[in-house]
Amino acid sequence: MNKFDIIKEISKTAPTEMEAKTFVNKVFEIITNALKNGEKVVISNFGTFKLSERKPRQARNPKTNEKVMVGTRKSIRFKASKKLMRSF
């Protein structure tokens, strides 16, 4: 399932498909902005999104086999809720 499929599903209950698209885009925008601000996003019965920082490390260039330093990086972590995990 992708974003377009989610919009199609929501458009079944929303007044128009354009409004469904607006709803979905707004939800993703809110989650993105919260993560950019360093906030944790908790969606009950679904899961938690949080920003984490990876430590600097030494990596290898596969083409030249040269060792290079990779700086700190931010990544997004998702942890599924217990209720979501039990539904499988």
Domain range enclosing 76: 3-81
Would you state the pLDDT for residue 86? 94
Domain assignment present for residue 39? The answer is yes
pLDDT in tens, the chain (88 residues): 999 999 999 999 999 999 999 999 999 999 999 999 999 999 999 999 999 999 999 999 999 999 999 999 999 999 999 999 999 8
State residue 88's pLDDT score.
Answer: 86
In a domain, 86, yes or no: no
Q: Where are the alpha helices (DSSP H) in the chain?
A: 3-11, 17-36, 82-86
Per the structure, how many domains does the chain have?
1
Is 61 domain-assigned? yes
Residue 88 lies in a domain: no
In CATH, what number is assigned to the domain containing residue 26?
A: 4.10.520.10
Between 17-36 and 3-11, two packed helices, what is the crossing angle to 10 degrees?
A: 130
Residue 87 counted as domain residue: no
